[in-house]
Structure 1
Amino acid sequence: MTPSMARSLSTFLSILLLLSLPLPSTQDLAADKSALLSLRSAVGGRTFLWNTEQTTPCNWTGVACDADRVTALRLPGFALSGNIPEGIFGNLTNLRTLSLRLNALTGTLPLDLGACSDLRRLYLQGNRFSGEIPPFLFGLSNLVRLDLGENEFTGEISSGFKNLTRLKTLYLENNKLSGSLLDLGLGLGLDQFNVSNNSLNGSIPKSLQKFDSDSFLGTSLCGKPLGACSDEGTVPSQPISVGNIPGKRKSKLSGGAIAGIVIVCVVGFLLIVLVLMVLFRRKGDERTRAIDVETIKQLEIEVPGEKTAVEANEPSTAAVNSSGARKLVFFGNATKVFELEDLLRASAEVLGKGTFGTAYKAVLDAATLVAVKRLKDVTMADREFKEKIEVVGAMDHENLVPLRAHYCSGDEKLLVYDFMPMGSLSALLHGERLV
C-alpha cells in the first residue's frame, strides 16, 4: 500500500468515526428527558400523564423546547408533592422559565438549581418550601421575575438581591422572614414588589417607598407609605399659651361664645352626615351586593345518578359532601383554601359586566381577596365545561391571572381568580379610576 493510499484510508476512517457519533443536541435532549423523568419519580402528580414512550419530551404537557433543548417547564397546580432531590436541574441548564406554583412541594430548594444560569422567570409561590432563601439564587443574574410568596421561608432578606440587577418582580409575601428591610438597590428597576405578612421591622428604604401600602401590610415596618416611624427624632411642637407671655392676660371665653361654638359644630356635623348620605345614595347603583347565595344554593342539590367520588385518573373533579352540596374545585394544593360557603358569605363588589357574565371582587377576610366571574348563557355539559376549564387552569404566563378554582352545578358556573389590585386593562389604557 502506497503512502498516499494509507493517508486516504486514514482520512476515510476518521470521517466514518465522526459520523457514527451521536449529535450533541441529541445527547443534550436525552439528558433533559432523563432529568424530567427523575423529577416525575420524585414528586409525582399529573406528571404521570406524560407519555414516556415518546423519544422527545418536547410534546409533554408543560414542557417547551427550543433548538432541541428544554427551555421551559410549567407545572402549575399539577398536584406535585414532596422534596425535589439534587441532580435534576443540573441537567436542565437551558431552562429560561420554571413554574412550580400552587403545588405541595416541601423542603429546601435544590442547590443544582443554581446551574440554570439562563433562568429568567422563576415561579415557586403557593408551596411549602422552607429554610432560608438560598444564596445560589443571587447568582442567577438573568432573573427578571422571581415569586417565592406563600411558602415557609425563614431568616432575613439578604443583601444578595442587589446582584439581580435585571429583576422587575420580587414577591416574598406570606412567609416567615424576619429582620429589617435593606435598601436592595432595586427600587428603580422593580415594578412589582411585595413583602407583606412577614415578621419584618424597621423603616422602609426610600428606593421602595414608591410601592403601595399593600406591599408592606402585616409587618412591623414603618415609614412611607405606612405610618411614620416613632424613632425619627421628631418632637411635637408645644402650643404657646397666651397667659405665659409677659404683659398678656389669659382670656376666657364667655358662656354664650361656648354655646355658639357647640351649635356650629353640631350643625356642621349634621351637614357632613347629610352630604355623605347623598353621595352613598348616588353610588348605590354602582356598589355591589353580595353574590346571591340563595340562587346558588338552589343549584347545589346533588343531581341524581351523578358520581360522588373523585375518579382516580382525573386530576380535578368537584367534591361532594355528605349533605349533597358541591364544593369549589381548586387547582393544585394552594396553602389558602376556602370553602364555597365562605365565598358566598363574603362581601362582594361588582368589577364589571361582560358578554359572558359579571365579575365580582369578593373579600373573604382582611388578607384574602379574590375575583369571581359568574358565567351566564354558557350552554355546555358539566363534563365538557370541566375539561375545558382544566386546560385554562393549567395555563401559566406572566401576563395571565392564574385561575384558582371553579364551581359548576347545573346552570351555575363560577370562576375564581386571585384578585389583582392594579385595575382593568381599560383603566390602564384610558386613565380611569382603579378598582
Structure 2
Amino acid sequence: MENIHSWILCISLLLLIYSSTSEEDSIKRSLIAFLEKLSPSNPRIAQDLRWNFSTNPCVDRWRGIGCNNRNTSVRRIVLEDLELGGSIDASLLCKAKSLVVLSLQNDNLQGNLPPEISNCSQLTHIFLDRNRLSGNLPSSLSSFNNLKKFDVSDNDFSGEVPKGLGKISGLVSFQVQDNKLNGTIPEFDFSNLQEFNVSNNFFSGPIPKGGDRFGLSSYSGNFGFCGGPFDAICSSIPAPSPLSEENSKSEGDKAILFSGYILLGLFLLVFIMYILVKRKRTQKKKSGNAKESSTSTEQKASRSEYSISSNEGSAVATTGSMSLIVLKNPAVKELKFEELLKAPAELLGRGRFGTLYKVMMSDGNLLAVKRIKDWTISAQEFQRRMERLDRAKHPRVLSAIAFYCSKQEKLVVYEYKPNGSLFKLLHGNQENCTFDWNSRLSVAAGIAKGMSFMHRDLQEVGIGHGNLKSSNILMDTNMEPCISEYGLLAIPRQTSLNNGRKSIKPINDTALKDDIFSFGVILLELLTGKIVQNNGFDLAQWVHSVVREEWTVEVFDKGLLSEGVPEDRMVKLLQIALKCIYKSVDARPTMSQVAEMIHSLKEEEDRSVVSEIDSRDT
C-alpha cells in the first residue's frame, strides 16, 4: 500500500514539473515570436538581444526583460529607442501573465493597439509614446484596474478616449498628447493624478471638474475646449425638443421657440460684453502681476526612469522646469509663457521633429512657435544651446525670440515670416510670382552665405542645422532667404547620411557634413523644380542617373529652359550640387568652399547680365 502511495506521489511530482516546464517553454516561445513581430525586418533581433529558447529569460538575463526577486516570472519588458518598425501582437505578449510594465518607447511601431492587450491583466505601466500607432484606443483598456501610468503620446491615435479609463482609481499619470483624438475628456479623479496631458489633439467641450489644476499647457493645441483655464464659456442652453408625431407646432410651441431665440440672443450679447470687458482688464494689468503657468506636467519624469518596488508600487521621479526665457530681440519687448499659451494659434504643420504654430499675440504681433518632440536633452543643455545659437547671428538665419523647456516639452519662438517658404515658392500655386534663374541663384547664394557663417561660428561645438530643407527656408519681405530652425536637431542618435544608408558617428564628425548634403539637395530642387522625397536620396539618384547617361539638359526645370538660360550656367551650379551630395562624407566640400563657389558663379552671372544690358544700350 505504501508503495502505491509513493508511486502516486512521484507521478504527481513529475506531472507538476512537466506542466511547469511546458508553461515556461510556451512563454519563451511566445515572447520570441512577439519580438519578431515587433521587428519583422531584422531576423537577428532575438539573437542580438540574447532571447534564446535554450536559455531562461530571468536567470540568463534576456536584454529588456525584468523578473521578480525569485527570478521565476517575467514582470517587465522594456525595449526602447530600437527603431523596431513592427507591430504589437498582444496575444503573444500576454502569455506572460505576470507582466506589470510594458515600455516600447520610440520604436517606430505601426498598426493599432489590439484589444487583446487587456489579457495582460496585471499591467500597471504602459509606455507606448513616440511611435506611429494608429486607430482607436481600445475600450478594453478600461479593464486595467491596477493601471498607474499610461502614455501613448506622439502617435496617430484617433477617436474618443474610452470613458472607463477615467474611472481607474489608481491612475496617477495619463499622457495622450500629440495624437488625433477627439470628442470630450472623460471624468477623471484629478485629485489622484500627478501627470495629465491631452494637448495637440482635436478634443472639445468642457474641461472636467478638477482638471483645471493642470493649467493651459496640458490642454493647448485643441482649440475646442471651454471652461476651466480657458476664457470660452461653455453653453448651457438645452437642445431643442424633437418634433411632434404630426410634424407641426402649436401656437404655444411657437411662443416657446420664439422665447428661446430671445434668450439665445441675450446670452450671446452678455457673452460678447463679458469677452470685451475681460480683454480690456487684461490690457490694463501690469506685467508683473501675470500669473506663472503652473502645471504638474512640467514636472513629468522620464518614463525610462521609473522603478517598481517589491510591493509593485511606483517610485515617481520629478524634475523641475525652466520658465520662458526671452532673448534680446527688437521684435518683442516682453513675452510671458501664459500669454503665449492663451493667444489664438493656427496649426501650420506637423513634421518629423515637431509641430509649428502661428500665434497672434494680444498686441497684434505674429509669432511662429515650434514645439519640438523626441529630443532627450536636459533643460540646462537646452538653455546653453539656445544661448550659444543666439550669439551666432547672421542676416540670412532666423534667430529665436524666446524658448521654453520642461521635461515634458520644448518650445522655440520665432518672428513670423508671412511670405512663405522656398518650398511653397517652388512647388506652390504661384501664378503671379515668377521665380527666374537669377532669383534662384540669389537664393542659393544667400542660403550658402548664412550656412557658411553658422558652420564657422559653431564648428567647435559641432552644431549643424540638422533638418535643412526648402520648407525651412523662409522668404522675408524682400524675398531674401532666411534659414529657420537652425540647431533644433531633434534626433535621438546622430547618423551620417551616406547614399541612403545610416551609420552611427559622433555628432561633431557628421552634423556639418550632413548639412552640406541637404544643401546640395536644395540646389537640385532649385535646378530641377522637382519635389524632394526620401530625404533627397531619390532626387539625388535620379540626377546622377540622368547625368551619367549624358542627358544633362533633361535635369533642368522646364521653366528655366523656356526662360532661355544658357545651359552652361546651370551646369556649373549642378556641378556644385553634385559635389555636395558625394556618397563619401569626407569627399564633400565645406560650407565655406560651397559658398565661395556659388559667390563666384553669382558674380559671373551679374557681370554677364551687365554686359548684356550694355550691349543692348549700344
TM-score per shorter chain, which class? 0.5 to 0.7
Deviation at 1:212?
1.6
Alignment equivalent of 1:89, drawn from 93, 108, 113: 93
Alignment equivalent of 1:38, drawn from 11, 33, 49: 33
Deviation at 1:222?
2.0
The corresponding residue for 1:211 is 214
Single out whichever of 130-139 and 156-165 deviates more from structure 2.
156-165
The corresponding residue for 1:131 is 135
1:38 counterpart letter in structure 2: A
State yes or no: 1:369 paired with 2:410.
yes
Distance 2:183 2:209 in 1: 17
Q: Deviation string for 1:253-274 (max 9, x for gaps)?
A: xxxxxxxxxxxxxxxx9xx99x
Distance 1:54 1:149 in 2: 37
Q: Which structure 2 residue ranges, 5 or more long, are not aligned?
A: 237-266, 275-283, 288-324, 330-350, 355-369, 390-399, 413-459, 462-489, 495-505, 512-618
User: Contact (CA 8 Å) 1:203, 1:223: kept in 2 or not?
Assistant: yes
The corresponding residue for 1:177 is 181
Alignment equivalent of 2:352, drawn from 336, 356, 359: 336
SS in structure 1 at match of 2:220: coil
Aligned ranges 1:179-258 → 2 under 5 Å: 179-182=183-186, 184-219=187-222, 220-229=224-233, 231=235, 233=267, 235=270
User: Contact (CA 8 Å) 2:178, 2:199: kept in 1 or not?
Assistant: yes
Deviation at 1:99?
0.3
SS in structure 2 at match of 1:146: strand
User: Contact (CA 8 Å) 2:66, 2:77: kept in 1 or not?
Assistant: yes
Distance 1:65 1:79 in 2: 24
Distance 2:32 2:272 in 1: 69
The corresponding residue for 1:405 is 492
Deviation at 1:360?
5.7
Which structure has the highest helix share of the two?
Answer: 2
Deviation at 1:27?
4.1
The corresponding residue for 2:124 is 120
User: Contact (CA 8 Å) 1:121, 1:143: kept in 2 or not?
Assistant: yes
State yes or no: 1:144 paired with 2:148.
yes
Distance 1:73 1:82 in 2: 16
SS in structure 2 at match of 1:153: strand
The corresponding residue for 1:69 is 73
CA shift in 2, pair 1:15/1:95, >3 Å: same
User: Contact (CA 8 Å) 1:25, 1:69: kept in 2 or not?
Assistant: no
User: Contact (CA 8 Å) 1:351, 1:360: kept in 2 or not?
Assistant: no
User: Contact (CA 8 Å) 1:289, 1:347: kept in 2 or not?
Assistant: no
The corresponding residue for 1:49 is 48
CA shift in 2, pair 1:36/1:288, >3 Å: farther
Distance 1:16 1:72 in 2: 35
SS in structure 2 at match of 1:98: strand
CA shift in 2, pair 1:207/1:41, >3 Å: same
SS in structure 2 at match of 1:150: coil
Deviation at 1:90?
2.9
Which structure has the highest strand share of the two?
Answer: 1
2:67 counterpart letter in structure 1: C
- Higher relative CO (CA 8 A, sep ≥ 6), structure 1 or 2? 1
CA shift in 2, pair 1:48/1:347, >3 Å: same
Q: Deviation string for 1:185-221 (max 9, x for gaps)?
A: 3211111111111111112122211112111111121
TM-score (norm 2): 0.40
CA shift in 2, pair 1:24/1:288, >3 Å: farther
Cα RMSD between the aligned structures? 4.3
Q: Deviation string for 1:229-252 (max 9, x for gaps)?
A: 26365816989xxxxxxxxxxxxx
User: Contact (CA 8 Å) 1:209, 1:225: kept in 2 or not?
Assistant: yes
CA shift in 2, pair 1:12/1:347, >3 Å: closer
